[in-house]
Structures are given as C-alpha cells and as structure tokens.
Amino acid sequence: MSRQRASRWLNTPAIVALFLWSIIPLVMTVWFTFRRYNLMEPDRVGFDGLANYRYLLSDPTLFQAVFNTVVLVGAVLAITIGLGTLLAILFDQEFFGRGIARVLVLAPFFIMPTVSALLWKNMMMHPDNGFLAFVFRSIGLKPIDWFAVAPLTSIIIIVSWQWLPFAFLTLLTAVQSLDSERKEAARMDGAGPIAMFRYIIWPHLGRAIAATTMIESIFLLGIFAEIYVTTSGGPGFASTNLSFLIYRYALMEYDIGGASVAALVAVVLANLLALFLMRSFARNLDT
C-alpha cells in the first residue's frame, strides 16, 4: 500500500500534461465563441453574445462541411474494413513470398499524407499525364478530371488507400489469432468457405473491427493535409470537411469567433462518436 502511494506521484506529470492539453483549448474555444474577434481587426474585440452562433448556424457551408465529414469518415471506414477483411482472408492462405507481399500492402500506411496526396494528384489522377488517364485512354474511355468532377470521391479514394493497410493488418492479426484447430474442425465437418467465414471467422473479428473503427475514426475526423494539397476544399465547398472549414475561418479569414463555433461543432461530433465507440472499447479492456 505504501508502495502504491509512493509511486502514485509518478503518474501525476502525464495526467497534468494531458489535462492541460485537453482542457485549456476547450475552455478558450468556448470563450471565443462569444467574442467578436478578428485577427485583422484587433481594435474591434469584444463581447458579442450569440452572434457567432447565429451567423455560423445559418451558414449553409457549415452543414455541407458536417455532411462531407460524415461521408468521408463513413465511406473510408466501409471501404477499408470491407476490403481489409477480404485481404486479411487472402493473406491468411499460404502462398509463396507472403512476407514480402505483405510489406507491399502495408507500404501506403507509412507514406506521409502530403506525399500520398501529391502522388495521387500528380501521377495517378492528373487528367493529362496521370496513370489513370493513360489506363482510361488505353481502353478507349475519356480520362476523368478527378478533382474537378468528383472532388470528395477523389479524396475518399486517396484516404482509403492510406488506411486500407491498417485495417488489413489489424484484421489479419485477428484472423491469424484464431486457432487453426477450430478452423480444421469446421473444415472436417464439411464447412465450405462461405460457411467458414460466416460462422467461424466473422464472429471472431468483432473486436478487431471495433478497434479499427475507433482508431480510424479518430484520425479520419481530422483529415486535413490531403484536402490542403489537392482541392483546397473546392470546387466551392464540395470537398471541405470540418477540419478544413475551421482552418479556412481561422487562418484564412482570421475570424477567431466563427472558427471557434465550428470547432465546437467538431468537438461535439467527435464526442458523439467517442461516446458510442468508447463504450464498446471499455468492454474489451482487460485491466
């Protein structure tokens, strides 16, 4: 017991640091939402009541940004977990050079977001000299100007490419931790590949899918660099998510009050998601 008391203080620095890191910005953000505060007009700073809220909540771009955020997160989650499951089952089979092939599949995850985005923008999706344009021309189709025609879809493709390896690796770890005796027994009982997946593999993946969903959501809610270097949120606001909208308000229009209201919306959205996800996560926690 005395040992516990003696070592308790070792936990304090981390707790204090994380507490300050999470609480100071939040309090400041709430404070700013009630202020008239534009960095370009330092003389006109003052209490502004609910004006920022009224202004922002009547601004259709906020709803478009929320909508885009939800679509981006949802689509990338569906794509990465869907394809990731298929890939995990494929890589659970025995084949030659499996180790090297796995490294190839993992590579996109380790590429920094700005490189991935520029690589896709310039070398894959460029309507003239992109590789996809070449593929389209070779099969007699007209190349697509991806970022003009389907900006949000393009970003979903890029981000899915970045996060597929993570979903794959997590699900593969889960599939491989399934003991082979159970699989063998099911096969002996005459289970075909579909029954095998439905009754043996799928139920075993629940925990891995919950964890993947949570971690990916954390990072996907904050997607920024990919939009910054490709579409800058455009055309119009077609590919603006909440992160980019707040950046736009704060560091391009210098409207601290407006940015803070949008930030509060982002925080509420994240917390709604967190509430639901943390509950399923706490169940899996074995302390």
Partner 1 sequence: MAASNKITRKLAMTAVAWLVALVIAFPALWLILTSFKSETEAISRVPHLFFTPTLTNYAAVQQQASYLHFAANSVIVSVGSTLFALLFAIPSAYTMAFAPTKSTRSTLLWMLSTKMMPPVGALVPVYLIFRDLSLLDTRTGLLLVDALANLPILIWMLYTFFKEVPREVLEAGRMDGAGPLRELWNLLLPLSLPGIVSTSLLAIILAWNEAFWSLTLTAAKAAPLTAFIASFSSPEGLFYAKLSAASTMAIAPILILGWLSQKQLVRGLTFGAVK
Binding mask 183-222 for partner 1 (x = CB under 8 A): ------------------------xx-xxx--x--x--xx
Q: Does 73 bind partner 1 (CB under 8 A)?
A: no
CB of 199 to partner 1, least distance (A): 21
Instruction: Give the ranges where the chain is alpha helix by DSSP (H).
Output: 2-8, 12-33, 51-57, 60-92, 98-110, 113-118, 131-138, 146-149, 151-177, 180-188, 193-196, 202-204, 206-221, 225-230, 242-247, 256-284
Which of 176, 183, 191 has its CA nearest to residue 90?
Answer: 176
Is 107 an interacting residue with respect to partner 1 (CB under 8 A)? yes
Residue closer to partner 1, measured from CB, 75 or 246: 246
287/276 Cα distance (integer angstroms)? 20
In the list 67, 109, 136, 197, the residue contacting partner 1 (rule: CB under 8 A) is 109
Give residues 122-141 in contact with partner 1 (rule: CB under 8 A).
Answer: 122-124, 128-129, 131, 133-134
What 3-state DSSP class applies to 47?
A: strand
130 close to 92: Cβ distance less than 8 angstroms: no
Please select the residue that binds partner 1; options are 85, 166, 233, 237, rule is CB under 8 A.
166
Binds partner 1 (CB under 8 A): choice among 22, 40, 47, 203: 22
CB of 92 to partner 1, least distance (A): 10
Burial of 249 (0-12, 13-18, 19+ CB in 10 A): buried
The first and second tokens of residue 78, run together, are: 């569906």
Q: Is 155 in the site for partner 1 (CB under 8 A)?
A: no
Among 45, 70, 106, 191, binds partner 1 (CB under 8 A): 106
| Residue 113 in contact with partner 1, rule: CB under 8 A | yes
- Please tell me whether residue 26 binds partner 1 under the rule CB under 8 A: yes
- C-alpha–C-alpha distance, residues 96 and 104, integer Å: 14
Residue 7 binds to partner 1 (criterion: CB under 8 A) = yes
35's enclosing H/E stretch is: strand 35-36
Number of residues counted as binding partner 1 (CB under 8 A): 104
> Interface with partner 1 includes 43 (CB under 8 A)?
no
Minimum gap (Å) between residue 30 Cβ and partner 1? 10
| Choices 49-57, 95-103, 146-154, 186-194 (CB under 8 A): range interacting with partner 1 | 95-103
Q: Does 252 bind partner 1 (CB under 8 A)?
A: no
- Site for partner 1 (CB under 8 A): which residue of 51, 111, 196, 200? 111
3-state secondary structure of 233: coil
87 in contact with partner 1 (CB under 8 A): yes
Lookup result for tokens 């998601």: 273
For the chain, the C-alpha Rg in angstroms (whole number) is 24
Strand partners, 36: 46
